[in-house]
Structure 1
Amino acid sequence: MHLHHFHAAGVSVVLECPPDALPAILYWGPDLGVLGADALGRLAAELRPRADQTVEAPVRTALVPEGRTGWVGMPGLSGHHQGENWSPAFTVVTYEREGRGVTATATDERARLDLMLTVELGASGLLRARAELRNRHALPYTLDALNLVLPVPGNPTELLDQAGRWSKERVPQRRPLTVGTHLRENRRGRTGADAATVLLATTEGTGFQRGEAWGLHVGFSGNHRYYAERTATGRTMLGGGELLLPGEVILATGETYASPWVHATYGRGLDEAA
């Protein structure tokens, strides 16, 4: 199993990159320091999901979650070839590492789809990722959504985002983090005064200089979506991407769609996350 550990500015990211599945983030949080191969392997064994009462095998949540793995939450990729290939299986994957980043190129030969994922940890500790989807099928591919999803470790208990209106923008709003999906969508065609801006999952009572915060921002000023999802088994995810309208993106043979960059931050307190 191929594991990559990146760390910068007090933040660590552990990325699992198997040759037969899409990459998945196993850890994203406080800096783990320098880890040798053995220590990294033991850590990964502890962090990988366990089997639960829902399916016989552990459900692995990749950067673009797939239904074929047993994931029953929000799908990462949603689309079809005129009603076919609506549940792709990217089982042939190659990887290229450069600095604190990895690019994965995945293929579903049956659906004739290629998916390229790029993950980078910047010197500031800011994590970012994007996806590109290419259609090689003879039929056009109707793309409904392409979301990138990041797991939140530990036990965050609250959500923090922003709302508002003209002349009273970016009003913070908090709510408990419960089972289900908290969804924020922007359909204005540009970022409005009521935009979420950053969606944060936090530990209880997180303030400017206390607690822990994991935040996600979609780097796109057009229609976009953010969501936080907690499963019945207690796993917490932050996801987002461009909000596509019906029929907005239909890929002809050889055409490619590139998602916006999704930026993610971790901090001990909101000041550090900011």
Structure 2
Amino acid sequence: MLTFRQLEAFYWAAKLGNFTRAAQRMKVTQSAVSLRIGELEQILGVELFHRGRRNPVMTHRGEEMLKFAEQILRLGTEAQERVSRAELVPDFLRIGFAEVISYTWLSKFVETVRQKYPKTSFFLEEALVEEVFASLKRGSIDLALVADIPAGQDVHAVPLGSVEFAFMASPLLGVPKRRCKPSDLRKWPIITLSNKSIIFAMINDWFGQGGAQAGSSYTCKSIHVAGVLARRGLGVALLPVRLYAQDIRRKTLSVIAVDPPLPALKFAALSSISNLDPFIREVANLAALASDFEK
């Protein structure tokens, strides 16, 4: 019969890419990892890895088995936490989040978590999406509430919904009301965020689709500042429509119709795949419940 030790060795070897890293993660020898995986293969009667390369590569059967191993290990960890050591809830929860969340449902989320885990303290950090994601990769935060990161980034993602963004400008700027192409919009200054930000990437991608580049620009670190500059007529900014609905109604900002259209920005609660703590996954699910983004 297969054991948790065998499944754990296989899981970490698959996720971390080689037996050495798996051994370091499990605090055992590499030979112990190899032995446990070999035992698992013997029990299953199939090869889980292609050997003979510098880093082992999973077979088709290995990829199939990984899904089951992850589920079994997660259930085992959850059972241990909830039944054997249910009282061991972390004293401290570190959460990083994107600016748009702080203006929408962050307080509702924090209140929900605090009601369920009243003894847990919070460290809350607002930053650019890329900065929050980097903190997650370093292990300096437990959960990241940010724009969804593409697959292959070694994270577990719980969808939070999407946010509509639009190019906006003050009517004083004189941007025409007709649908604008990238070649049209490059005539006005573009207000953007850091060149490592999702907003910067969205703007560049949009101009690139039209074979153009943005003209002159102002760079700032927050959506709020970008909105202030746009409201003053200093340029065109890419802003979340929901947060600037009042400006649109008051006509202090106008939405610029564009071609090609801009995609909505998807958000997710991200945790590291190396963190199997069910508490973090449960908090991520609470974030999904608290989120009022479009779903």
- TM-score w.r.t. the length of structure 2 is 0.24
Higher relative contact order (CA 8 A, sep 6+): 2
Higher strand proportion: 1
